Amino acid sequence: TQLLEQSPQFLSIQEGENLTVYCNSSSVFSSLQWYRQEPGEGPVLLVTVVTGGEVKKLKRLTFQFGDARKDSSLHITAAQPGDTGLYLCAGGYGGSQGNLIFGKGTKLSVKP
């Protein structure tokens, strides 16, 4: 059984601070996706990483896929209250058909 360990589970920080969320597994994934979910909404895809060692930036968010494609991190610089939400990592397997396994999520709260 493939498992994705996501940490931390909860994070409460002040506006302007930096943070990193981690997603680790003993399994190799074909891709790793990060989602953000706000209350009352479905998860929204932020980024997909597919190559070991890949780094992608989305404004103040930096995503990294581990060299062995078993782990990933999301780093947010100078967090803002608008970054508040549930962040989910998901490992892709089984080709391009969307089979995903989700981490437990990180609930981020950024206080002004």
Interface with other proteins (CB under 8 A): 6, 30-31, 33, 40-45, 48, 50, 88, 90, 92, 95-100, 102-105, 107
State phi, psi for 80 to the nearest 5 degrees.
Answer: -125, 160
Could you tell me which residues are beta bridge partners of residue 63?
Answer: 56, 74
CB of 86 to other proteins, least distance (A): 8
State phi, psi for 81 to the nearest 5 degrees.
Answer: -55, -30
CB of 45 to other proteins, least distance (A): 6
Instruction: Give 78 or 107: the residue with its C-beta nearer to other proteins.
Output: 107
CB of 109 to other proteins, least distance (A): 13
Instruction: Give 50 or 78: the residue with its C-beta nearer to other proteins.
Output: 50
Instruction: Say how far residue 102 (Cα) sits from the centre of its chain.
Output: 10
Q: How far apart are CA 4 and CA 78, in angstroms?
A: 27
